[in-house]
């Protein structure tokens, strides 16, 4: 198995996503084909796919996907932590050993419901606290997916090999996101592969956040614990804080994470818009995502592609009927939308939004 430091292939991460806005479910083949076309952007140290709509029979439950070091760790977590919940189903996630991926942690999933009478916090806040508790206690366990009617499947390997390992051909979803990882500053390990998830949020990320330290320090003041060894986790936490907890409209959260430059704000002749931009920059200055990046942020309601302000990482977007696709390269977009109605490269800092029909936001 490749280890960080033994191989260093000059490349960039591959990101891809595709949604059917009518919520029609389809197989993983589109996302797998797109990621396979960008194989040279990865190096086998991490890959993964997140899918929405795959657990309709347990749509009201949080679907926890957990890595365990061994069965003793699993029993400890089940007895000491998961006993707080009503468990509709607990099972080992189906995998197959392949030539490319033949060593892995234990991988289990649980469909759970909180016993709200035991908690004073809102349900989603309680779930976040619970996830942070497990992931920061050095229990030999890591919760890597925790949303409703969705799941992430990731590990050490190329993304198309990870899809084969997890038997993703058995699943149907209406939104798929994927990532082929070239670790920039962190080791290749199962928990550190993308997508990174929290509740219904999932993030795939190409680039590097030079603002990671500032972002992390700010988020930890609100109870978030950054234990993943990657800068990507702060992106999911930042949007969870601003959109879910603080109730900001998505456009304001985007403006905080990827704001206009001060000279652009000062040149704005609309005084109300200028004042709003100034306020967002001052209040959320510590959540500015600095450095080169392209990301896809998804929830069960849709997805958003976003570049850094000066577009130092590539991103192409296409639509074809009810389909919308985003990828690092145009050839990958065309694999998902072979006869596009529109195809474009978003400007830096300008989100490309793909929402389900009838939805007006990525969150409630």
The residues carrying an active-site annotation are 13
Tokens linked to 289: 């995502």
Q: Are 101 and 162 in contact (CB under 8 A)?
A: yes
Distance (Å, whole) CA 273 – CA 256: 14
Helix axes 250-257, 271-283, angle to 10 degrees: 70
Q: What is the DSSP string of 331-353?
A: HHHHHHSSS-SEEE-PPTT--EE
CB neighbours of residue 102 within 10 Å: 11
Lookup result for tokens 């995502």: 289
Helices (H), the chain: 29-37, 71-80, 123-136, 159-165, 212-220, 232-239, 250-257, 262-267, 271-283, 330-336
Categorise residue 238: left if φ over 0, alpha if ψ from -120 to 50, beta otherwise: alpha
Cα angle value 279/239/159 (rounded, 5°): 145
Q: What is the DSSP string of 195-254?
A: PEEETTEEEEEEE--TTHHHHHHHHHTTT----SSSTHHHHHHHHIIIIIIS---HHHHH
Q: How far is CA 165 from CA 6, 107, 128, in A?
A: 23, 12, 28
Tokens linked to 193: 């592969």
Radius of gyration of the chain (CA): 20
Q: What's the helix, strand, coil split of the chain in %, to 5?
A: 30, 25, 40
């Amino acid at each position: 198995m490749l280890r960080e430091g033994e191989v260093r292939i000059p490349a960039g991460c591959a990101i891809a996503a595709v949604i059917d806005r009518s919520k029609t479910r389809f197989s993983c083949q589109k996302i797998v084909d797109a990621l396979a076309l960008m194989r040279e952007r990865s190096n086998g140290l991490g890959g993964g796919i997140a899918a929405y709509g795959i657990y309709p029979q347990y749509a009201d439950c949080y679907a926890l996907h957990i890595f365990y070091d061994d069965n003793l760790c699993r029993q400890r977590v089940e007895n000491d932590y998961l006993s707080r919940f009503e468990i509709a189903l607990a099972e080992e996630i189906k995998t197959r050993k392949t030539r490319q991926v033949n060593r892995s942690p234990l991988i289990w999933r649980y469909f759970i419901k909180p016993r709200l009478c035991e908690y004073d916090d809102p349900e989603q806040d309680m779930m976040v606290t619970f996830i942070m508790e497990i992931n920061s206690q050095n229990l030999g366990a890591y919760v890597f997916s925790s949303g409703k009617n969705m799941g992430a499947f990731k590990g050490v390997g190329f993304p198309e090999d990870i899809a084969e390992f997890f038997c993703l051909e058995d699943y149907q979803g209406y939104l798929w996101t994927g990532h082929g990882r070239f670790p920039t500053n962190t080791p290749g390990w199962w928990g550190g592969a993308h997508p990174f998830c929290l509740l219904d949020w999932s993030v795939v990320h190409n680039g590097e956040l030079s603002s990671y330290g500032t972002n992390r320090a700010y988020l930890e003041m609100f109870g978030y614990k950054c234990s993943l060894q990657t800068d990507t986790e702060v992106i999911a936490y930042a949007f969870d804080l601003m959109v879910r907890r603080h109730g900001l409209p998505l456009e304001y959260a985007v403006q905080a994470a990827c704001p206009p430059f001060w000279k652009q704000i000062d040149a704005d002749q609309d005084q109300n818009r200028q004042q709003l931009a100034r306020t967002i920059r001052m209040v959320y200055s510590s959540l500015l995502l600095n450095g080169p990046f392209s990301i896809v942020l998804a929830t069960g309601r849709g997805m958003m592609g976003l570049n850094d302000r000066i577009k130092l990482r590539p991103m192409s977007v296409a639509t074809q009927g009810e389909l919308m696709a985003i990828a690092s390269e145009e050839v990958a977009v065309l694999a998902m939308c072979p006869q596009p109605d529109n195809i474009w490269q978003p400007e830096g800092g300008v989100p490309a939004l793909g929402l389900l029909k009838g939805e007006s936001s990525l969150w409630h």
